[in-house]
């Protein structure tokens, strides 16, 4: 009996892992397709597409999946994907922005509303939350081992167009204006700096402090449930 129970647990855990992996690949493929449709379907001429492909490769997405996602953008057939953002007032008055890629907006909105009912959260009107965020580029690089190396790296990044540098754990987070992201990336690459993550996304310019642990717990669970929706690409919040 114990052997059977253990095998059932393994199968269940493997199923969860496979689902998460499949969901991740779906999101990455959608990101590639959208990037290719918004610009040229050639990564050498489309920086956003290059970033999407790099993320897919970092996640060990098969080459065939990447090529199919680009091919889908070139043709007229396939899913009519669209990108949307939903603004939410969450627990404690915290603002959230949910970015999705979907082929059925009504289905996605229904899934989001069903989750919001379980928390002190509601969909907000256009720009009710979004004004509290700004679009920025970011790069994450390993924290240099010495103060001198860090200072040298910061100077290189700032000269290339970086507007802010923050330390987090064993990494440096370099912030840029969206239009300067490619230049900063190219400069760091020329200086043989390893880039562990790169992207463009929303960052809060107005923050809301969490006043108690119960509000914090509700917010964490809300974000967790929203991120579990297959069509959701990202959830950002202005909570601190």
Which residue do the tokens 């989750």 mark? 115
What the block records as the tokens of 1 is 């009996």
Which residues have a Cβ under 8 Å from the Cβ of 179 and sit 6 or more positions away?
Answer: none
pLDDT digits (tens, 9 = 90+) for 174-198: 999 999 999 999 999 999 999 888 8
pLDDT of residue 12: 39
Which residue do the tokens 């009504």 mark? 106
Instruction: Give one word for 197, left, alpha or beta, with left for phi > 0 and alpha for psi -120 to 50.
Output: beta
| Mean model confidence pLDDT for the chain | 85
Packing angle between helix 63-74 and helix 2-38, nearest 10 degrees? 40
Closest C-alpha among 137, 142, 216 to residue 180: 137
Which residues have a Cβ under 8 Å from the Cβ of 82 and sit 6 or more positions away?
Answer: 101, 102, 103, 105
Q: Is 138 helix (H, G, I), strand (E, B) or coil?
A: strand
CA distances from 217 to 83, 96, 101, 228 (A): 29, 15, 27, 17
Q: What's the CA gap between 221 and 211, in Å, rounded?
A: 16
Instruction: Give one word for 23, left, alpha or beta, with left for phi > 0 and alpha for psi -120 to 50.
Output: alpha
Q: What's the CA gap between 38 and 46, in Å, rounded?
A: 9
Residue 14 pLDDT exceeds 50: no
pLDDT digits (tens, 9 = 90+) for 120-155: 899 999 999 999 999 999 999 999 999 999 999 999
pLDDT of residue 4: 38
pLDDT digits (tens, 9 = 90+) for 58-103: 888 899 888 888 888 876 555 677 889 999 999 999 999 999 988 8
DSSP H helices, 172-212, are: 181-190
Q: How many CA atoms lie within 13 A of 17 on its CB side?
A: 6
Could you give the angle at the alpha carbon of 73 between the alpha carbons of 31 and 112, nearest 5°? 40
Average pLDDT (107-126) is 94
What the block records as the tokens of 181 is 């992201």
Q: How many CA atoms lie within 13 A of 119 on its CB side?
A: 28
């Amino acid at each position: 009996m114990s052997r059977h129970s253990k095998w059932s647990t393994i199968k269940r855990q493997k199923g969860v892992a496979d689902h998460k992996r499949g969901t991740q690949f779906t999101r990455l493929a959608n990101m590639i397709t959208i990037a290719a449709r918004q610009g040229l379907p050639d990564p050498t001429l489309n920086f956003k597409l290059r970033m999407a492909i790099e993320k897919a490769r970092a996640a060990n997405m098969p080459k065939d999946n990447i090529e199919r996602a680009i091919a889908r953008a070139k043709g007229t057939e396939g899913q009519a994907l669209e990108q949307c953002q939903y603004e939410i007032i969450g627990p404690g008055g915290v603002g959230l922005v949910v970015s999705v890629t979907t082929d059925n907006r009504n289905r996605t909105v229904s899934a989001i509303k069903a989750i919001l009912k379980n928390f002190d959260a509601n969909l907000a009107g256009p720009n009710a939350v979004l004004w509290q965020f700004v679009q920025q580029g970011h790069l994450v690089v390993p924290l240099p081992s010495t103060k001198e190396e860090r200072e040298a790296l910061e100077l290189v990044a700032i000269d290339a167009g970086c507007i802010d540098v923050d330390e987090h754990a064993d990494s440096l987070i370099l912030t840029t204006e969206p239009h300067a992201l490619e230049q900063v990336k190219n400069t760091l690459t020329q200086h043989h700096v390893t880039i562990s993550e790169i992207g463009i996304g929303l960052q809060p310019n107005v923050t809301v402090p969490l006043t108690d642990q119960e509000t914090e717990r509700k917010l964490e669970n809300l974000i967790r449930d929203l991120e579990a929706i297959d069509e959701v690409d990202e959830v950002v919040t202005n909570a601190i």
